[in-house]
Amino acid sequence: MRRCKFRDIFLKVKQYKIIDAILSGKDVIGILPTGYGKSIIFQLLPFIQEYLLGKETIVIVIAPLNAIIDDQIKSLLRRGVRAGSMRTKESKVESRDVGETNDWDSECESSDDELHQDLQDDQLSLLEAGHFRLLFMHPECFVSSRKGRNILASEIYKERVSCCVIDEAHLVQEWGEEFRTDFRKLSQLRAIFPSAPMVALTASAPPKQLRGMTDALFLQNPLKVVGNLDRPNIYIGIHRRKASSLGSESYESILRPIAEELKENVIQFPLTIIYLPLRWCGYAFKLFEQILQEKSYLPENTVDPRHRIFAQFHAAQTEIMKQEILDELTSAESLIRVVFATVALGLGVNIPNVTQIIHIGPPRTLESYYQEIGRAGRNGKPAKALMFYNGSDISANKPGMTYEMREFCTTVTTCLRDYLLKYLGSSKSQNNIVTSCCSNCETMQSAAEKKLTPSSSDSQPNPVRKVSEEQRQLMLKLLKRYRLELGTNISRFGSIDLSTGFTISLIEQIVAQSEFVTSAEQLLYGFAIWDKKHAVVCMDVITRVCGH
């Protein structure tokens, strides 16, 4: 472990459970929220196994996109890990863009000549010698390529491969049907390495997908490790946009205010990813150029693409251009503030400081939506996920558009976070603040507050009752008990006060302010002012104590 510089790793409970199961030889399905740290699971495996077995092992990682592979290898090389890749034809292995044709084509079904076209002789020698501790590859590298299959079937790989990991495993079904059919044939890994555990990792797999994933990968009684998928720091907002029949006007009405705000705030503007169809990325880029003019660069008037504060990321760009953008975005001193992107930027890449995700037009599925908004708030700070749609965006004849996505866009009486998480088989965290949850909650809360605010025409005062000292002490006791339960039941670092914000001082203030009791609704409104995060619990405690 010292040689590969993994000194700063602190495993979370579910990471530990998955690693423990793998070391026991079990197949695993791990469903963990974006930003939880799925990658560290397979990054650590070769070194834990070397420590236990006394010999070097190889972990194979199936990844869908070059951007993911490059990001992983870059990170591992910094830690001194021997990591490499086996890929199909360069620039063809990419994700499909929203509303566009597939970027994948028949050239990606690799012939023997295409598999190693970008490898130098020494790199190919290292690959064949089993030099890499972590080997990243596309499914097509061994399913459709005889050369790749022969390398994996060699004696050195049969002896050393200790685990096969499918990263972004939800794509086995989502892409495997017609887009990249080799994803449906990943069970061939079981035939090549029958004794190696298979691990499927993803951030979004609703319960209905788990059986299909298990069957497609030939998993044997897999252990299912499922985390709470809620990202409470991400506010979810959905809004209508102008009709598509208006053409550029529908996009400009959303993009222009963003460009004007960027022009005003420049480097202070929150790092934002705007997902939109490929054909509109160029339009958005030119619109921003027109509005920002000399402020398109930092410092101003420095006409150099490397100093531009907005960029495009999609499959039509070269691998070099995309890698330059990724390097910039993952840098602590990044100048880029806005990225116009397709779903090519939607998977696996760790960009820690994204504060805002904007969709102009919804993804086809809720799984894709969850994956894409998961790019935001990975540093734990408040973030926003805003989506704009119109009727044609979610029409029933839109190819691939799911019923759940249409219902998610159009619902107005249901919490959007609750709808999304229930679909994914999870639930909301206890520490959600109502007004910072979603646009629906915000609207409903505003309506409730307006209803509860007394008007000047009210002539009759509400009946009130004084809280006794005995009741006050009981309230204090119950709220302190809740504080301890909250600190015990959540994963936290540091003290209860630091992790939850529900301090003894705050409890005492809440109890002290409970001088009079009127109705449960007014209690909720009053305590939302004092402590929005725990308002419902405070209301419940005081209502029980006071007999309302």
Nearest residue to 368 via CA among 251, 275, 250, 282: 275
DSSP letter at 176 equals T
Which pLDDT score is estimated for 322? 80
CA-to-CA dists, residue 146 to 66, 110, 112, angstroms:
21, 9, 6
What is the H or E stretch that residue 136 is in? strand 134-137
Does the fold of domain 234-447 match that of domain 13-226? yes
Shortest CA distance to 103 belongs to which of 120, 88, 119?
88
In whole angstroms, what is the distance from residue 490 CA to residue 486 CA?
6
Strand order in the sheet with 338-341: 234-240, 383-389, 356-360, 272-275, 338-341, 310-313
Least confident of 133-142, 377-386, 421-430, 533-542: 533-542
Q: What letter would DSSP give residue 121?
A: H
Judging by DSSP bridges, how do beta strands 516-517 and 465-466 pair with one another? antiparallel
pLDDT tens by residue, 268-298: 999 999 999 988 999 999 999 999 988 998 8
> Where does residue 245 rank: exposed (0-12), middle (13-18), buried (19+ CB within 10 A)?
exposed
> Which residues partner with 61 through β-bridges?
136, 165
Residue 439: the pLDDT is 93
Higher pLDDT, 527 or 273: 273
Segment 131-155 shows an average pLDDT of 88
User: Has residue 87 got a pLDDT over 70?
Assistant: yes
pLDDT digit string (tens) for 465-497?
566 777 778 878 888 887 787 777 766 666 777
CB 305 within 8 A of CB 270: no
pLDDT of residue 98: 36
The predicted structure's pLDDT at residue 96: 38
Nearest to 133 by CA among 322, 320, 6, 319: 6
Q: What are phi and psi of 135, to 5 degrees?
A: -115, 115
Q: Which CATH architecture has domain 234-447?
A: 3-Layer(aba) Sandwich (3.40)
pLDDT band at 344 (very low <50, low <70, confident <90, very high): low
Domain ranges of the chain: 13-226, 234-447, 463-546
Determine what percent of the chain is predicted with pLDDT higher than 90: 33
Helix (H) or strand (E) holding 30: strand 28-31
Cβ(216)–Cβ(205) below 8 Å = no
- Which tokens go with 413? 């009486």
Q: Which residue has the higher pLDDT, 202 or 452?
A: 202
For the domain with range 13-226, which CATH number is right: 3.40.50.620, 3.40.50.11900, 3.40.50.300, 3.30.70.2860?
3.40.50.300
pLDDT at position 123 over 80: no
Give the C-alpha separation, 398 to 389, whole Å.
Answer: 13
Least confident range of 124-138, 180-194, 244-258: 180-194
Name 238's bridge partners.
387
Peptide bond into 139 cis (omega under 30): no
- Please report, in angstroms and rounded to a whole number, the separation of the first and last CA atoms in the chain: 59
Measured CA to CA in angstroms, residue 424 lies from 75, 276, 412, 502 at distances of 30, 24, 20, 29
Q: What is the mean pLDDT of residues 69-88?
A: 85
Q: Among all chains, which residue has been given the structure tokens 């994204």? A: 354
For 294, the 3-state DSSP assignment is helix
pLDDT value of position 99: 38
- CA–CA–CA angle 66, 363, 401 (5° rounding): 120
User: In this predicted model, what pLDDT tens digit does every residue of 215-230 receive, in sequence order?
Assistant: 888 899 999 998 888 9
The full length of the chain comes to 548
Binning pLDDT at 50, 70 and 90, where does residue 318 land? confident
Alpha-carbon gap, residue 377 to 491, rounded angstroms: 18
CA distances from 465 to 408, 462, 513, 518, 548 (A): 43, 10, 14, 7, 11
User: Which sign, positive or negative, has the C-alpha torsion 124, 126, 127, 132?
Assistant: negative
Q: How far apart are CA 102 and CA 87, in angstroms?
A: 19
Whether 357 contacts 388, CB under 8 Å:
no
Contact 31, 226 (CB under 8 A): yes
**Location of structure tokens 């529900």:** 502
Please write down the HEC assignment for all residues of 221-269.
CCEEEECCCCCCCEEEEEEECCCHHHCHHHHHHHHHHHHHHHHHHHHHC
Burial label for 455, CB within 10 Å (0-12, 13-18, 19+), is: exposed
